[in-house]
A and B are shown apart, each in its own frame.
Chain A
Amino acid sequence: MALLELEGIETYYGRVRALNGISLSVDTGEVVALIGSNGAGKTTTLRTISGLQHPARGSISFAGQVITGVSAARRVGLGIGQSPEGRRLFGRMSVLDNLVLGSYTRRDRAGIQRDMDRVFELFPRLKERSGQISGTLSGGEQQMLAIGRALMSQPKILMLDEPSLGLAPILQETIFSIIAEINGQGTPILLVEQNALKALEVADRAYVLETGTIVKEGTGEELLHSEDVAKAYLGM
């Protein structure tokens, strides 16, 4: 059984159906990408998994436990960490305070310190700026902080929503190589991206969403070379 499994998820915003029976899974060690155009339901899928949005139908199970009815706050404790859409940093707090809040659900001081060191090792920039107010960081640094903050909850799965959004190409490269590095250290990643090409390069597997439905799935490699994906999302 996979680490994270969605079965026939239907999510509504009011009366508008955003997700139309999504089933997907993420296994230990994987990087899984969700790609698709604007409004396809990528972010809604993440919000449903993290509990910020509740599905009308379907079930979510995580680490062998059904979590469909579990609150968003408790899901973090269970090991679902995320960097939400738009980063949502605590803009008036320092970098350090943001990271400390990331570890809110934990009480093991030594472990928190270890993870703090690990985040600073991944993002040396954050260490230099640990006292700086996070709202004054550059876009790339803010993204690093959002990922670092998510890592502080010691996630069993890390969900990233558009980590490359609004970043210069060179910074996008950095972010994607860090995603690969985090995955290499053993954390499975569910990645939502507009930049389909980059996402498919780094992903083991990927799902293609269209208007709330999964229309295609396969390994990153397969989708990268599939003709209709190339046409629709890679601009080739």
Chain B
Amino acid sequence: MIRLRNVTRDRNQLVYLILIVGVLLFPVLAGFVSPGDSGNYLLGQAADAGVYVLLAIGLNVVVGFAGLLDLGYAAFFAIGAYTYALLASGQLNSSPLHHAIHLPFWILLFVAVIVAATAGVILGAPTLRLRGDYLAIVTLGFGEIVPKLFLNLSQWTSGVNGVSALDYPSLPIWIEGPWVGSSLSIVRGFSFAFNSMAYYWLMAILVLIVVILVSNLQRSRLGRAWGAVREDELAADAMGINTVTTKLLAFSIGAATSGFAGVFYGSKLSLVSPENFSFVVSVTILVMVVLGGMGNIPGVIVGALAIYYVLFNVLTNLPANAKGIANAVGLGFLNRPAAGGWPGLEQEVQRLNFLIFGLILISIMLLRPQGLLPSRVRKEELEKGVAE
């Protein structure tokens, strides 16, 4: 058994090593793969993937560590993003406040974290006495209410149009170099606007900070308490663990992480609108956590990257790729619309996109029910059937 634990730990260290090397090499590789824009598009995608990595790590605290099923996690993401949107744009000028607020990105990172964590406590305090399915339903409701709130408070948030023209983060000094296709130089008053490289490194640093913080939490006394609550709440009570506080902390720390992600997301897209935080987002993040390996941080990171890649790269390019392949192997007739309602292969694949996504999810769950990189506890449960 001790051997098993070490295997898990060694594997995690290996995964971290691969991830770090990958993050360092990615800008270079992206530049090679698409020299036209010196990898800008790919770097931007990677930074967006990082948003999901942050979200998955945060949800993992709630679902994986403390065992609380949260189906409305996107709500906290929305709260973080809207915090940034309102406090770093001209938006409030056209609100009843009649005064725009432009706080710096770096301060708003912390403000949004506090706002999201507070929202977590406000939602958690009355609901965390519920268990399992009941908690899931309440969080589901919360996940629906929050975007609706932003939608309908239109005098503050411009409703369905969303808040646009958000401020870009800036730095007093930034060093440019060959890696962004320019010569080595120091840029003063540097703005992140449209600079994917800058966002990429910012995201890498944010993820690093969050991983370090959350890993430490996992190993802390609080982390043990989360484990105990997840396993058996009554027994946790009998060990002297204040279960309500313990669960509240999981909720608010999870929420805080997504507040982080929300600020980054808003600042990069420069646009925040209610439809970006639908139920599908909550479910996608949950899928990342479960598929990656609930409770295991490197697993969850890999899960988030894998699902992001499938969703926003494989699936979005699939119709065009299918068309290309059909042409290449001499099945070009498939690409022409035909009698019987056949719209052509590209259209058809487009229609089937989510079916294909579903099939991919089902196959992963069939092949690796414990997740890609499971935590020791999950593994134990599935292999030996040890439950309560």
* CB-based contact B238/A84 at 8 Å: yes
Main secondary structure on A side of the interface with B: mixed
Most central of B2, B221, B240, B381 by chain A CB within 10 Å: B240
Complex-state Cα separation, A153 to B5, whole angstroms:
26
Contact A52-B238, Cβ < 8 Å, known A91-B386, A92-B377, A133-B1: yes
B231 at the interface (CB under 8 A from A): yes
Q: A100-B224, A104-B225 are in contact. Are A84 and B240 (CB under 8 A)?
A: no
Pair B227/A93 contact, Cβ less than 8 Å: yes
B65, chain A: closest CB distance, angstroms = 13
**A151 and B228 alpha carbons, distance in the complex (Å):** 17
Pair B238/A92 contact, Cβ less than 8 Å: no
- Asked whether B235 lies within 8 Å of A84 as measured between CB atoms, the reply is yes
Residues on A with C-beta less than 8 A from B388 are 91, 135
A88 and B238 contacting across the interface, CB-CB below 8 Å: yes
Q: Mark A120-157, 1 if CB is under 8 A from B, else 0.
A: 00000000000111011000000000000100010000
Q: Which residues of chain B come closer than 8 Å to A101, judged between CB atoms?
A: 224, 227-228, 236, 239, 241
Chain B hits for A66, CB < 8 A: none
Q: A88 and B224: CB pair below 8 A?
A: no
- Given the known A-B contacts A90-B228, A93-B231, A101-B228, are A133 and B386 also in contact in the complex, defined by CB atoms under 8 Å? yes
Query: Cβ of A216 < 8 Å from any Cβ of B?
Result: no
Closest Cβ–Cβ distance, residue B298 to chain A (whole Å) = 20
Enumerate A91-105 residues with CB–CB distance to B below 8 Å. Answer: 91-94, 97, 100-102, 104-105
A153 to B224 Cα, complex, angstroms: 15
Q: Which A residues, 48 to 105, have Cβ-Cβ distances below 8 Å to chain B?
A: 50, 52, 71-77, 82, 84, 88-94, 97, 100-102, 104-105
Say if the beta carbon of B133 comes within 8 Å of chain A. no
A72 touches B1 (CB 8 A): no
Question: Quick check: A76 and B238 within 8 Å, CB to CB?
Answer: yes
Dominant secondary structure at the B interface: helix
**Beta-carbon nearest neighbor of B246 in chain A:** A73
> What mask results when residues 221 to 234 of chain B are scored 1 for a CB within 8 Å of chain A, else 0?
10011011001101
**Smallest Cβ distance from A9 to chain B, in angstroms?**
19
On chain A, the residues within 8 Å of B231 by CB distance are 90-93
Residues in B neighbouring A73, C-beta threshold 8 A: 237, 240-243
Instruction: With both chains docked as a complex, state the minimum distance between the C-beta of A128 and any C-beta of chain B, in angstroms.
Output: 11
Supposing A104-B221, A133-B1, A136-B386 touch, asked if A84 and B241 sit within 8 A by C-beta, the answer is no
Residues of A contacting B328 in the complex (Cβ-Cβ under 8 angstroms):
none
Check B387 for interface membership: any CB of A closer than 8 A: yes
Chain A residues positioned under 8 Å from B1 (CB to CB) = 94, 131-133
> What is the distance, in angstroms, from B223's C-beta to the closest C-beta of chain A?
11
A52 to B237, CA, bound (A): 8
Question: How far is it, in angstroms, between the C-alpha of A1 and the C-alpha of B303 when the chains are bound?
Answer: 60
Instruction: Specify which chain B residues have a CB less than 8 angstroms from the CB of A88 in the assembled complex.
Output: 232, 234-235, 238
Given contacts A90-B227, A101-B224, contact A135 B387 (CB under 8 A): yes
Do B238 and A104 have beta carbons less than 8 Å apart?
Answer: no
- Whether the pair A135, B386 counts as a contact (CB closer than 8 A) is yes
Contact A131 to B2, CB < 8 A, known contacts A101-B228, A104-B225: yes
Q: Given that A88-B235, A94-B1, A104-B221 are known contacts, is A77 also in contact with B384, CB under 8 Å in the complex?
A: no
Taking A92-B377, A93-B377, A104-B225 as contacts, is the C-beta distance between A72 and B238 under 8 angstroms? yes
The residue of chain B having its C-beta at the shortest distance from the C-beta of A84 within the complex is: B238
CA distance A101 to B381 in the complex (A): 20
Asked whether any CB of chain A lies closer than 8 Å to the CB of B380, the reply is yes
Distance to closest chain A CB from B247 (angstroms): 13
Contact: B234 with A52, CB < 8 Å? yes
In the bound complex, how far is the Cα of B380 from the Cα of A133, in angstroms? 8
Fill in one digit per residue for B364-388: 1 if any A CB lies within 8 Å of its CB, else 0: 0000000000000100110010111
Q: In whole angstroms, how far apart are the Cα atoms of A138 and B384 in the complex? A: 15
Contacts A82-B238, A84-B235, A90-B235 given; does A104 touch B384 at CB 8 Å: no
Residue in chain A with minimal CB distance to B242: A73
Other contacts beyond A52-B238, A92-B387, A101-B241: 14, CB < 8 A: A77-B240, A88-B234, A90-B231, A90-B232, A91-B231, A92-B380, A101-B228, A101-B239, A104-B224, A104-B228, A104-B239, A104-B241, A131-B1, A136-B384
Instruction: Give 11 pairs: A residue, B residue, CB < 8 Å, sorted on A.
Output: A52-B238, A75-B240, A82-B238, A88-B235, A91-B387, A92-B381, A105-B239, A105-B240, A131-B2, A153-B239, A153-B240
